[in-house]
Amino acid sequence: MSCRQSRPLAVCLLTLLTLTAAARAKDPVRAAHAMVVAQEPLAADVGRRVLLDGGNAVDAAVAIGLALAVTHPSAGNLGGGGFMLVRLANGKTTFLDFREAAPEKATRDMYLDAEGNPTKDSIFGWRSSGTPGSVAGFEFAHKKFGSKPWAELVAPALQLARNGFSVSQTLADSFHSSEKMLTADPESKRIFLRDGTQYKAGETFKQPELADTLARIAKGGAKEFYEGETAKRLAAAMAAHGGLVSTRDLAAYKVVERAPLEGNYKQFHIITAPPPSAGGVGVLQMLGILDGTNFESDGPNSVKAVHYEAEAMRRFYADRSEYLADPQFYNVPVKSLLAADYVAWRRRTIDPNHPTPSEYIGPGLQRAQAAHVSWFESSETTHYNVVDAKGNAVAVTYTLNNSFGNGITAPGLGFLLNDEMDDFAAKPGVPNMFGVTGGDANAIEPGKRPLSSMTPTIITKDGKFFMAVGAPGGSRITTGVLQVIVDVLDFHMNPQDAVDLPRFHHQWKPDTLYLQNGFPADTEAALARMGYPIKPISGVARVEAIVMNNGVLEGGTESRLDGKVSGY
Ligand code: DON
């Protein structure tokens, strides 16, 4: 572990002691000028190349997003959606919401059976898809901030799809672990499982249909995807299989540019995701609850730190279940949820020595209860950060929701479809695949965007870029991002150590503290003695982070995956 020069010695020693027990200590990758962190190395290198060729951080982000759709098909996508947070070196910030939208024909009860119980149709099959936003999002970002020709940014993805690339062990494993779902769709089986003869590491994977789609997008831009041949073929396949996304939905799709949520924490300024993400409200509310508790005094992953962070998480997730949704459809009380008095009241309800049972914690603005929830393990989204040599920073999280989305590939088009409709509350109080519940606020309505946990975040200090961070991981995203933020800001860890530190998660319901495998046993025992019901988890949010440390960029990437820090 490397202690950052600015941190006090006592904190260094404490962090070091805690870390030796808790995690492998690693130096972060460093770069003097610019940096990309992404969850797939070929796409990270595409971004670095764009930066070296004089492109800015948004150019690189667009090229990476398109490349990931080729090299990381479990999450990178053309058929999904996401969020891009931009902070320019001049301090201007914006948030591009290219989240999927519920199709015009979607109805509130569309996933309930005759008895009124939720079916699996929000996760599997053609009806699980919302109108995709990724291509529109990338084009919008490029038109607003890009400096390179659009076709030049599509070119690396197009080449990777056309000429193929060597299958990594991670990619081979991901095909293998989603075999059942991919086999259910003939087109997915043909492309991703080579008709049943699975790809092995080192073999070349070519995607000619996806290359053709990318070639049309390179030429015709998002208009081609939403109104051209791609749109017509996608809508025709949807209609043939009972899916809802129509040519009207595609033509009507719009990126929404939103003001990011901003707030202060100690000497840092946090810029993060507004609704329809719950993530930014979560990060700001949880940091607000933690501020002043002295939760950091015993070091990262100490009993005290975990207790206060878990109690902050519990309180936020109770609020999330009731008040967070698409702001175009529901009046999200962001100001109230972040009001100093409200946050202080939430903080005061934390007992320093005991967990508060979730049944005593309702959504705080007006008490309510929700049903018990289950847990879903296998899932996929992806996050990447880019900082260019001028100091422009971009954080992108985008997704198909599940790993490989709903497992269906649009015939002849080469890209997978999302199952983002599952992020709506199919039935009030009934958990979705991430075990989170919602109510009226997040009910299905045509054109509405489902509530998300994706939390791309950029942090500044003294008005300058300090950190970019985000993660995949379903409902564990927001808590994972929170932990890496406090690990860096409060525990002064470098970003690699911070992303490697075993994580924990609490989401109010079920009333369970999830500890990642490898969590220090003595901390776990002490938390159990305090009264926490504990369960181990293997899957946590796979966080990616870039931190500016005394003029040098340091990158931390998920070593539990194939991530890469690529800088110069
Ligand atoms: O928007 C959301 O919160 C989810 N659709 C994200 C899904 C996810 O992170 C799955 N990945 N690990």
Sheet-wide strand order for 564-567: 256-258, 93-98, 81-87, 393-399, 381-387, 35-38, 564-567
Q: How many other CB atoms are there within 10 angstroms of residue 3's CB atom?
A: 16
Predicted pLDDT at 296 = 98
Report the atom number in ligand 1 closest to the C-alpha of 381. 11
Say how many Å lie between the CA of residue 380 and the centre of ligand 1.
6
What is the DSSP-derived secondary structure letter of residue 368? -
Between the alpha carbon of residue 54 and those of residues 77, 152, 160, 180, 503, the distances in Å are 25, 12, 21, 43, 37
Report the alpha-carbon distance of residue 142 to residue 429 in Å, rounded. Answer: 40
Contacts of 149 (CB under 8 A, 6+ apart): none
Closest Cα to atom 2 of ligand 1: 452
Distance CA 186, CA 331 (A): 43
DSSP-based three-state secondary structure for 369: coil
Answer whether 474 contacts ligand 1 (Cβ < 6 A).
yes
**What are the backbone angles phi and psi of residue 446, rounded to the nearest 5°?**
-55, 135
Distance CA 400, CA 406 (A): 8
CB 508 within 8 A of CB 369: no
What structural domains and CATH numbers belong to the chain? 9-29+259-380+455-544 (1.10.246.130), 35-257+382-442 (no CATH)
Nearest to 275 by CA among 341, 343, 339, 323: 323
| CA dist., res. 33 & res. 63, Å (int) | 19
What is the rounded distance in angstroms from the CA atom of residue 341 to the CA atom of residue 91?
A: 29
Q: At residue 4, what is the residue type?
A: R
Which ligand 1 atom minimizes the distance to the CA of 542? 12
The verdict on the CB of residue 381 being under 6 Å from ligand 1 is yes
Whole-number pLDDT of residue 540: 86
Question: For position 13, what pLDDT does the model report?
Answer: 39
Number of Cα atoms under 13 Å in the Cβ half of residue 539: 15
Å from CA of 476 to ligand 1 middle: 9
What's the confidence (pLDDT) of residue 82? 98
pLDDT of residue 366: 55
Cβ of 423 closer than 6 Å to ligand 1, yes or no, is yes
Distances (CA, A) of 111 to 430, 444, 542: 12, 10, 30
* Catalytic residue of the set 230, 272, 381, 409: 381
Sheet of 513-516, strand order: 504-505, 513-516, 534-537
Beta carbon of 454 within 6 Å of any ligand 1 atom: yes
Q: What's the pLDDT at 4?
A: 43
Q: Which tokens sit at 343?
A: 């946050």
Is omega for the bond preceding 363 within 30 degrees of 0, making it cis? no
CA distance 386 to 208: 29
DSSP state of 34: -
CB 454 within 8 A of CB 470: yes
Determine whether 381 is an active site residue: yes
Q: Residue 526 Cα, ligand 1 centroid: separation in angstroms?
A: 31
* Cβ–ligand 1 contact at 379 (below 6 Å): yes
* pLDDT digit string (tens) for the chain, length 568 residues: 333 434 443 443 333 334 433 445 789 999 999 999 999 999 999 999 999 999 999 999 999 999 999 999 999 999 999 999 999 999 999 999 999 999 999 999 999 999 999 999 999 999 999 999 999 999 999 999 999 999 999 999 999 999 999 999 999 999 999 999 999 999 999 999 999 999 999 999 999 999 999 999 999 999 999 999 999 999 999 999 999 999 999 999 999 999 999 999 999 999 999 999 999 999 999 999 999 999 999 999 999 999 999 999 999 999 999 999 999 999 999 999 999 999 999 999 999 999 999 999 988 775 323 322 233 334 579 999 999 999 999 999 999 999 999 999 999 999 999 999 999 999 998 999 999 999 999 999 999 999 999 999 999 999 999 999 999 999 999 999 999 999 999 999 999 999 999 999 999 999 999 999 989 999 999 999 999 999 999 888 999 999 999 999 999 997 767 899 999 9
> Do the beta carbons of residue 424 and residue 102 sit within 8 Å?
yes
Residue 521 sits at the vertex; the CA angle it makes with 306 and 499, to the nearest 5 degrees, is: 55
Q: What are phi and psi of 453, to 5 degrees?
A: -100, 0
Contact at 8 Å (CB) between 276 and 82? no
Residue 84: strand, helix, or coil: strand
* pLDDT for 391: 97
Exposed/middle/buried for residue 189 (C-beta within 10 Å: 0-12, 13-18, 19+): middle
Task: Supply the pLDDT for residue 26.
Answer: 83
Q: Which is it for strands 268-272 and 457-461: parallel, antiparallel or unpaired? A: antiparallel
Judge whether 418 and 130 are in contact, CB under 8 Å: yes
What residues have CB less than 8 Å from 159, skipping those under 6 apart? none
Protein residue closest via CA to atom 8 of ligand 1: 474
Residues near 486 by Cβ (< 8 Å), separated by ≥ 6? 287, 290, 296, 300, 305, 309
Phi, psi of 116 (to 5 degrees): 85, 15
Sequence-ordered alpha helix ranges (H) in 82-199? 134-145, 150-163, 169-177, 179-183, 186-192
Q: What are phi and psi of 261, to 5 degrees?
A: -80, 140
User: Is residue 275 within 8 Å of 285, Cβ to Cβ?
Assistant: no
